[in-house]
Amino acid sequence: MRRPRDRLPYFDFLFDQLAKNNALVERAFGNNVHWGYWESPEKADTSAVGFSQASENLNLELLRELDIEEGNDILDVGCGFGGTMATLDRLYQGVHVTGLNIDPRQISRARQALLPKRKASNSVEFIVGDACRLPFPDCSFDHIAAVECIFHFPDREIFFKEACRVLRPGGRLVLSDFISTGKARLPLLLLFLTHGWSFMKIYGVGFGRPPTVVKYLELAGNSGFDALKVRDINRNTLPTYQFLSRFAQNFSGIERRMKRGNRFLEMASRSGAMTYQILVLNKRLRENL
């Protein structure tokens, strides 16, 4: 039985619409359920097709930070509908990819979508599990990807320690997350008071208070990681809000909550109070611990 903080109402909505064969939802979120990345945001295609491609682009931006080689074991934490795993399967040969998610529904959909299409040279498996209690032995993986999911986990530091435990020495963890800049705290608080409840009603209560980059790197360092790169891609993700605003207009039942919730995050992102970033972390070699 899932804990209340694990429940994500937006996935309840997506599954309901997918069961109704909603073509718009399938086109936009059938593979990936995360923000989009546009290399030239001023020219962004924010149609459902354009957003779907931008979501795939975000996968590529994260995966290019991993030094993936044939024979590698890769863990996709919070694997969603398996879109990132499908990208891995398409780009690489001879890799073993494991997808983990706490929601059995997401694992089921990802398994049905990917397994029949995977390359014969690759190995793919799916596991229902908790990212803060990873069900794997020590030193099981060469790389871990966590695409826009870590804010749903009960505790970032516990996840970092678990990720470090299951990574081999020198292995990499790449993640994307909404990160606080530490600016405009009072305006952000007022914004949260007016729009934050709507945000949580759609995206779940696990979003919490995003840490600053300094705090993030402190948590990672205390868990056995060195930071290889911190990359701000906030500007490249902003067209997502234009798409979501139009998308919500097709669903009167949740339109008001979705609009208010996305407005909170968009205003926080555009005001400089919050930013979307990619972090690349490297597990320290034993002799450097």
| Whole-angstrom distance, CA of residue 24 vs CA of residue 5 | 28
| Whole-angstrom distance, CA of residue 192 vs CA of residue 58 | 27
| Whole-angstrom distance, CA of residue 33 vs CA of residue 240 | 12
Domains of the chain, each with CATH number or no CATH: 4-284 (3.40.50.150)
Which of 247, 262, 32, 252 is closest to 148 using CA atoms? 32
Q: Give Cα 215 distance to the centre of its chain.
A: 19
pLDDT in 10s for each residue of the chain, 289 residues: 344 445 677 898 899 999 999 999 999 999 999 999 999 999 999 999 999 999 999 999 999 999 999 999 999 999 999 999 999 999 999 999 999 999 999 999 999 999 999 999 999 999 999 999 999 999 999 999 999 999 889 899 999 999 999 999 999 999 999 998 877 666 666 666 666 566 666 665 555 567 889 999 999 999 999 999 999 999 999 999 999 989 988 887 666 677 777 887 888 888 888 899 999 999 998 644 4
